[in-house]
Chain A
């Protein structure tokens, strides 16, 4: 018998973050009002069942305010591992602190929506606050690593990245672990200042029966650029929710994603781009390869607000099913209230190109090798957009 949302929150610890009381109230009300986990009758969860999540028995991983130091390397590292967090010495123009140390006013720009974010608000045990000063181009990439270890543990974090005007940042995010019955609810808020550029590559590669909820909320100011590559590889259960608010003119947003599912993996990608200001572009490209009994979900939504003229929004989702037991559910949506726009989406689902397969085999390549080659080719666009060499290597290994 699965528990209610309140039961679920009760087994965790109250939040260690100083969220504004209004936000906490929203979350408390939300959990009480909704009472139960959403069901598939709920449009946002139409293709993802939460019964298993609701019946999880987990305990929260807690963190100290102070980070353990890390030796200097080619990266600025932030590591959350068991009940410790580690941090490299920041370079000039970069400020890193524990999210629990932030004042309630630092969270004023946040908003909450849906049970995942409500649980996060009520039970987050920490997170990292990263600030990049205006006009700073970081010489090293920032790397945030989450290692979720210990059976039935829950990792609940709320990160905040504030990128000053005309700054330039490269970020890599990893999710690792191999314990059973774990839960993660990790939320990122990205505030991207005018003219700032943020490139993020994220690899989700947890083994074991792990239930991962990943939320990224991105607030883009004038002429800023945001690129996010989300790669979910053989994860038991993953729900990605990415919401971009293009608030001012001249922004560019790139959301790329690859999801590779096997066995009974369930990987759900929800993206929502709000074009609230004119003269912006967004480019979305998600690719899925599903084998065995895996299920993939892609729900991409682009909303163009009434005054947001001259928007160019493109969305593509392509899926390959390698098994008759695999399932894909795709829902690319456009909601448009401005007239001078160019918006399009395309979605295809199919198999590997049989002619190409035949061609490769006719040149003497084994069927297995040819299949790998074609899948690699299929994923090349996404892999090519990844800057992180670690993630690129991981993907190459995975696709071999």
Chain B
């Protein structure tokens, strides 16, 4: 589904990713772990198409298409979803209006008719239950005045609504207490299927207690330096990132 080959990325002339290679197949859950500054969030931003990042070499294909050639919204419409580390507030724009616009744009892209108001609201009800999101939040402005936990749950709610092929969760666990973490992880797990894939980016192992990865990759200094199964995360937790640094 996603194939990243020898990816080099710079921001303002500083190289952050230095030859990253990664392949994710449908039905898989991958986790990327690494210390601060390793380039984890850069990877997430590059996948979504954020313009501040310059891809100097390497390729990314998504469903056999060149992802780097696509605009931000084309990637989203093709099924790349980024759950933001810091979800953005948009004053005055209701969550519902925002999502309805997004869903219908994606449907239009796929040649599907727009969703009727009734079907849309049914969907909102169903999906918001998944992450225990208070229905009243749906009518409030996007992320405005939401608590940290509500923002993250709202991200997963949006993911549930948009049904992406590849979900990239960027530090979704940061700032969450254990209950919120369980709810968010529960939502992600419920959405897992044979057709879609998930890329979990995290600093800590604890999220991986709830979202069980098939593969764990360690990102260090812009490259994947170690790949293993879910037990690698535990090992990292125990030994710390210094272990990777010295092992290298």
| Complex: A in contact with B (CB within 8 Å) | no
Residues of A whose CB lies within 8 Å of any CB of B are none
Residues of B whose CB lies within 8 Å of any CB of A are none
